[in-house]
C-alpha cells in the first residue's frame, strides 16, 4: 500500500515538472514585405469604416462657423467705442462664437427681386429671416406686404410675425389672410389717417380667429400674431401673444408692444376671473399647457386664452431709426436694448455678418435680421426664431 502511494506521488510530480519546463512557442511577426491576406468580410468592414468617416467629414464641411464680436454701449457722435460701459461703469464686451448647422428660411429670388424693385421706388428697406432652431418643425411665419392698400388711400406697408404652436397651420393661415382682412377694412373705412385703428385691428383679429375656429382639424392649434402697419405719419402695432415690436429712436429702445405672458399681473387676474388657472409646468402656462395668454386659434382654451390684440399708435418722427419685429425665440434670450444696439451698429456699418470667412452682400436690414437670429442661437435659444428689421431713417423729415 505504501509503495503504491509513493509511486502515485512520483507520477504527479513528474507531470507537474513537465508542464513548468515546457516553453511557450514565440509568435513571429510577418516580414515587412510580406503580402497580407484579407478575407472578403474584412474588406467590407474596412470599406464601411472609410465611407462612414467620409460622411462625418462631409457633415463637418456642411456646418459653418459664425463669429461675432459686438461692443454693447452708447456711442458718442457715432464713433464706435473701444468697450462699452454698463450701469456700474464696468467695461464689457459681448463675444459670441457658435457653430450652426441649421436650415435658413429666406424669401425666393422672385420675391427678393420684387422687393428690391419696390425699394427703388421709395419703399422701406427691410429684411427678414426665420431659423428652425433646435425644434423638429418650423412653426413660425413672417409676412411682408409693401403697399398693401390702394395708393389713393395713402401709402401703408404691412409687416407681421406669427409664432405657431401645436403645428404651423394657424400661423400659415394668418400669413395668407390677415393682411387681406386689414386691407379690406382700410379700403372700406376711407383714409387711414382717420381710422379707429384699435377697432379695425380688434375686428380683423376676431374675423381671423373665427375663420380658424371653423376648421375642426386645427382646434388644438394656435398662433400668436404681431402686426405692424407703417404709414406715412404713424406706426400702428397690434399684438396678440408673446412676440414683440421694438423701435430704435434717437439711440434708445422703445417697446411698441407688451408680451402677453400668463403671469403678467393683469393677464393673470383676467384668467382667474374667467375661472382658469396659471400653473408652473416648465414655466408659467395657462392650465399648465400654453405659455402665452393670447393667441389666434386654441379654441380648446377659451375663454382663458383670447384673440383680442393690444393696439398702440406711435407718431413717426425724424428720430426714428428702425423697427424690429421678432418671435419669442429672440426675446427669451435677448433684451430690447441689446437688440437695438446690434441693429444700430449693423445699419451704421460698424459690424458685418460673416460666414465661412465671406461677407454677405445683402441689404443692411437683412444682415441685421440674420445677425440677431444667429446671436440668439449662440445665447442658447431653443425655439424657432423669426425676425423682421425695417429701416426708418430718412423716411420722415419733420416731427
Q: What does the domain layout of the chain look like in residue ranges? A: 126-257+308-391
What is the distance between the alpha carbons of residues 283 and 390, in angstroms, rounded to a whole number?
32
CATH 3.30.428.10 fits 126-257+308-391, yes or no: no
Vertex 83: Cα angle to 82 and 84 (nearest 5): 135
What is the distance between the alpha carbons of residues 107 and 212, in angstroms, rounded to a whole number?
25
Q: CB-side exposure of 251: number of CA atoms within 13 Å?
A: 8
β pairing state of 84-85 and 91-92: antiparallel
φ, ψ of residue 214 to 5 degrees: the values are -75, -10
- Considering only CA atoms, which of 393, 156, 123 is closest in space to residue 251? 393
Q: State the pLDDT at residue 208.
A: 97
| CB 351, CB 68: distance < 8 Å | yes
What is the distance between the alpha carbons of residues 169 and 241, in angstroms, rounded to a whole number?
17
Q: State the pLDDT at residue 275.
A: 96
pLDDT tens digits in sequence order for the chain, 399 residues long = 445 444 444 444 455 444 444 444 444 444 444 444 444 444 444 445 445 444 443 333 333 333 333 334 444 344 333 333 333 333 333 333 333 322 333 333 333 333 333 344 456 789 999 999 889 999 999 999 999 987 666 789 999 999 999 999 999 999 999 999 999 999 887 665 678 999 999 999 999 999 999 888 888 999 999 999 999 899 999 999 999 999 999 999 999 999 999 999 999 999 999 999 999 999 999 999 999 999 999 999 999 999 999 999 999 999 999 999 999 999 999 999 999 999 999 999 888 766 544 455 578 999 999 999 999 999 999 999 999 999 998 777 566
The CA-atom distances, in angstroms, between 121 and each of 318, 323, 350, 368 are 20, 20, 27, 22
Q: State the pLDDT at residue 150.
A: 72
Vertex 185: Cα angle to 193 and 113 (nearest 5): 85
What is the distance between the alpha carbons of residues 389 and 147, in angstroms, rounded to a whole number?
17
pTM of the model: 0.71
Amino acid at each position: 500500500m505504501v509503495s503504491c502511494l509513493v509511486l502515485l506521488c512520483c507520477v504527479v510530480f513528474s507531470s507537474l515538472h513537465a508542464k513548468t519546463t515546457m516553453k511557450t512557442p514565440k509568435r513571429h511577426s510577418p516580414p515587412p514585405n510580406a503580402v497580407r491576406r484579407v478575407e472578403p468580410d474584412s474588406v467590407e468592414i474596412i470599406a464601411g469604416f472609410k465611407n462612414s468617416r467620409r460622411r462625418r467629414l462631409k457633415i463637418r464641411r456642411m456646418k459653418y462657423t459664425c463669429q461675432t464680436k459686438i461692443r454693447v454701449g452708447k456711442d458718442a457722435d457715432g464713433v464706435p467705442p473701444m468697450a462699452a460701459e454698463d450701469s456700474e461703469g464696468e467695461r464689457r464686451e459681448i463675444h459670441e462664437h457658435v457653430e450652426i448647422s441649421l436650415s435658413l428660411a429666406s424669401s425666393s429670388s422672385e420675391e427678393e427681386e420684387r422687393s428690391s424693385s419696390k425699394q427703388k421706388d421709395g419703399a422701406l428697406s427691410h429684411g427678414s429671416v426665420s431659423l428652425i432652431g433646435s425644434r423638429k418643425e418650423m412653426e413660425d411665419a413672417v409676412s411682408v406686404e409693401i403697399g398693401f392698400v390702394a395708393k389713393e388711400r395713402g401709402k401703408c406697408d404691412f409687416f407681421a410675425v406669427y409664432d405657431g404652436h401645436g403645428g404651423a397651420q394657424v400661423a400659415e393661415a394668418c400669413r395668407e389672410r390677415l393682411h387681406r382682412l386689414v386691407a379690406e377694412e382700410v379700403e372700406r373705412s376711407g383714409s387711414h389717417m382717420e381710422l379707429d385703428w384699435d377697432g379695425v385691428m380688434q375686428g380683423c383679429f376676431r374675423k381671423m380667429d373665427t375663420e380658424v375656429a371653423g376648421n375642426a382639424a386645427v382646434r388644438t392649434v394656435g398662433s400668436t400674431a404681431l402686426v405692424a402697419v407703417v404709414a406715412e405719419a404713424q406706426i400702428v402695432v397690434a399684438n396678440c401673444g408673446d412676440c414683440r415690436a421694438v423701435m430704435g429712436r434717437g439711440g434708445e429702445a422703445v417697446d411698441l408692444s407688451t408680451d402677453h405672458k400668463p403671469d403678467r399681473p393683469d393677464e393673470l387676474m383676467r384668467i382667474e376671473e374667467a375661472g382658469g388657472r396659471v400653473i408652473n409646468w416648465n414655466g408659467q402656462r395657462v392650465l399648465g399647457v400654453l405659455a402665452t395668454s393670447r393667441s389666434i386659434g386654441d379654441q380648446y382654451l377659451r375663454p382663458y386664452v383670447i384673440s383680442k390684440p393690444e393696439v398702440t399708435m406711435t407718431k413717426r418722427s425724424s428720430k426714428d431709426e428702425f423697427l424690429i419685429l421678432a418671435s419669442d425665440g429672440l426675446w427669451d434670450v435677448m433684451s430690447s436694448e441689446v437688440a437695438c444696439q446690434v441693429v444700430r451698429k449693423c445699419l451704421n456699418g460698424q459690424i458685418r455678418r460673416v460666414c465661412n470667412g465671406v461677407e454677405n452682400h445683402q441689404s443692411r436690414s437683412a444682415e441685421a435680421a440674420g445677425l440677431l437670429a444667429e446671436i440668439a442661437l449662440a445665447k442658447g435659444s431653443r425655439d424657432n426664431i423669426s425676425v423682421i428689421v425695417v429701416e426708418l431713417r430718412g423716411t420722415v423729415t419733420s416731427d
